[in-house]
Structure 1
Amino acid sequence: MKMRSQQSGLSIPSILVIAIMVGFFVMCAIRMAPSYFEYLTVKEVITKVAQEHDPAVESIPDIRRKIANLFNTNQIYGLKPSEVEVFRRDGKTYIDANYEARIPVAGPVDAVIRFDDLQLEAGTAEGS
């Protein structure tokens, strides 16, 4: 029977380094998850408002009011209704709710998540 002259495997310090790295990424995921779920709710609200818009009946202040009510109902705090832009261009109404979420990770280190696919043409569900 032949004996190995060296051991194989990870040492205690290397296991600790790997555990710290995995722990850091798990902590980041846990801190970022609420912002991502809030984004999904914002996307649902903006899509709903855009689909239900009737340009013959509703004006821009009506859309803003509807967005503010739905944000309040769905407890959205990462994006204020005043930060959502509602404007008209070429006879069409657009809703632009693009925003960034800044999440503190550790000390002076922040993670920034950019949600930039929230510009919709009101009256349709398609983005522009």
Structure 2
Amino acid sequence: MKSMTSQRGITLTSFLVVLIVVAFGLYIGMKLFPMYQEYYAVRSAMKSLAKEPGVGNMEPRRVQDMFFKRLYINYSENVKPANVKFDRIDGGWNMKVYYEVRRELIGNLDVVGKFDSNQELTRSGAD
């Protein structure tokens, strides 16, 4: 008399389905990672500008030049001077950076990232 043993595990078809889902997730991640890496470079450049002595008293053009020098180090390619705006606030500037990144995903489908960031630049003189 044979005893029935139950087998446990994943079938080849199930393994392929899991593999396809994981591969698609990795593909999406590869498309999104550079967009967010650039966004964090923009945030980092803005925060470092906020720590710059006398930035609240500088002209917007000079602040913008300093910002793009910091971005150039991080190889940012989607942020343009037209994406940077300055509003006067008490004791300095409010710097706004708004830009959009579009990456091809599959066929005629694109991934679009809209990034909007603000930073107050109020530090005056050497603290």
- Tell me the TM-score normalized by structure 1: 0.76
Relative contact order (C-alpha < 8 Å, sep 6+): which is higher?
A: 2
User: Cα distance, 1:26 vs. partner?
Assistant: 0.7
Question: Which residues of structure 1 form unaligned runs of 5+?
Answer: none
Q: Report whether the alignment pairs 1:109 with 2:114.
A: no
Cα deviation for residue 109 of structure 1 reads: 2.0
Shift of 1:14: 2.3
Counterparts of 2:66 and 2:97, CA distance in 1: 14
Q: Distance in 1 between matches of 2:43 and 2:16?
A: 40
Please show how residues 1-128 of structure 1 align to structure 2 within 5 Å. Answer: 2-4=3-5, 8-52=8-52, 53-56=54-57, 58-89=58-89, 92-116=92-116, 118-123=117-122
Mean Cα deviation higher: 101-110 or 23-32: 101-110
Question: Could you list the per-position Cα deviations for residues 14-58 of structure 1 after superposition, in whole angstroms to 9, with x for gaps in the alignment?
Answer: 2212111110001111222222222221111111122214333x1
Q: How many aligned residue pairs are there? A: 121
Amino acid at match of 1:38: E
User: Once superposed, what is the RMSD of the aligned Cα atoms?
Assistant: 2.4
Structure 2: gaps (5+ residues) = none
* Percent of aligned pairs sharing the same letter: 26
1:79 Cα deviation from its structure 2 partner: 1.3
| CA distance in 1 between partners of 2:8 and 2:46 (Å) | 56
- Whole-Å separation in 1 of the counterparts to 2:17 and 2:64: 50
Verify the 8 A CA contact 1:60 1:87 in the aligned structure 2. no
